[in-house]
Amino acid sequence: MKTKDLSEWVQNSTWDNSKNIDILYKQRCQKKTIEMTAHKQVVSILKEICKKGESVLDIGCGSGYLYHSFINKKLDVEYFGIDASKKLLNIGKKYLPKFGLDNKRLIHSRFEDLSVKFDHIVCINVLTYHDNLFKPLDIFLKNAKKSIILRESFAIKSNYKYVRDNYLNDGVDLKTYINTYSMNEVRKFLNNHKVSYKFIKDNYTNGKMQKVIGHNHYWKFLKILK
C-alpha cells in the first residue's frame, strides 16, 4: 500500500488532538492496563474461522495494541494494522517491537487507499465515528478474502450525529460523527453482496446501551463470511 501525505488530515482529526488518548494507547501498548473486552471477543471470533499463518488486517488500529490479544489467545496469524494517524502509529512502533511485532506491520494509510487483499479484516470502534458505514464496508468486502469482523453501534433505527467533541485538548474545537446504523439497512446491503453474516452480542456491554463521550452507543459485533 502506498502512503499518501496525510499532514492536513491531522489538524482535523479528533484522534490526533487528545492527550488522554496518547496516554491510554501508550499504556495499552506496554500492557500497563487491562486488556479490552472487545479485543478478547474479536480474537475469539477470529479463532473460529482463522487458519494458521493467514493474514489479518486491523483497520483503524490506532497504535496496534490489538496485537497483544492475538498473542494472549495464541492466534497464530500474520497481524497488520493501518491507521491514518501517524502519531498513534508511532506509539505502537516504539513499544510493540518489544513484544515481537515488526514495525513494518504498522502502516500509515487510510482505509480508502486500501489496495492489498488480506484473508481477514477487523475494524473495531471506527466506523461509528465515520460519516457512513456503507462505502467503507464496500471497500472491506473488496479486499477481504474470507471474513470481516466489525464492532460498531448497531440498533433497530439509524441515528446520525455530527457534534462537537468535548473531550479534546484545551483550545481544540473539532466535531466528530457519532452514528448508529440500522441493522435492517446493513442486512439489505449485505444481502445484495451475497455473503453470510451474523450480529453478535457485545460482551463488554452485555447488549446494553453505553454512553461514550456523552452519546448513546449500541455496540454489537458483525461477522461477515465470504
pLDDT at 11: 76
Q: Is the pLDDT confidence value at 1 over 70?
A: no
Residue at grid coordinates 502519531: 87
pLDDT at 9: 64
pLDDT at 120: 98
What's the pLDDT band for 6 if we cut at 50, 70, 90? low
- Dump pLDDT digits (tens) for 93-111: 999 999 999 999 999 999 9
Name the grid cell of 90: 508511532
Rounded to the nearest 10 degrees, how much is the dihedral formed by the CA atoms of 132, 135, 138, 139?
-110
The percentage of the chain sitting over the pLDDT mark of 70, rounded to a whole number, equals 96
Q: What is the mean pLDDT of residues 163-173?
A: 91
- Dump pLDDT digits (tens) for 29-74: 999 999 999 999 999 999 999 999 999 999 999 999 999 999 999 9
> Which bin fits 183, alpha (ψ -120 to 50), beta or left (φ > 0)?
alpha
What's the pLDDT band for 5 if we cut at 50, 70, 90? low
Written as one letter, the residue type at 90 is N
**DSSP label at 36?**
P
Alpha carbons 3 and 25: distance in angstroms, whole number:
22
CA of residue 191 relative to chain centroid, distance: 23
- Dump pLDDT digits (tens) for 148-158: 999 999 999 99
Strand 219-225 and strand 196-201: pairing? antiparallel
The overall pTM is greater than 0.85? yes
Q: Which residues contact 96 (CB under 8 A, 6 or more apart)?
A: 29, 63, 64, 65, 67, 103, 106
What's the pLDDT band for 2 if we cut at 50, 70, 90? low
Written as one letter, the residue type at 2 is K
Q: What is the mean pLDDT of residues 202-220?
A: 97
**Closest residue by Cα to residue 141 from 27, 222, 43:** 222
Instruction: Return the CATH superfamily for domain 7-225.
Output: Vaccinia Virus protein VP39 (3.40.50.150)
Alpha carbons 187 and 127: distance in angstroms, whole number:
16
> Which bin fits 37, alpha (ψ -120 to 50), beta or left (φ > 0)?
alpha
**Closest residue by Cα to residue 161 from 193, 128, 118:** 128
CB-based contact 93:84 (threshold 8 Å): no
Helix boundaries (H) for the chain: 7-10, 19-29, 37-47, 66-72, 86-95, 134-143, 183-193
The percentage of the chain sitting over the pLDDT mark of 90, rounded to a whole number, equals 89
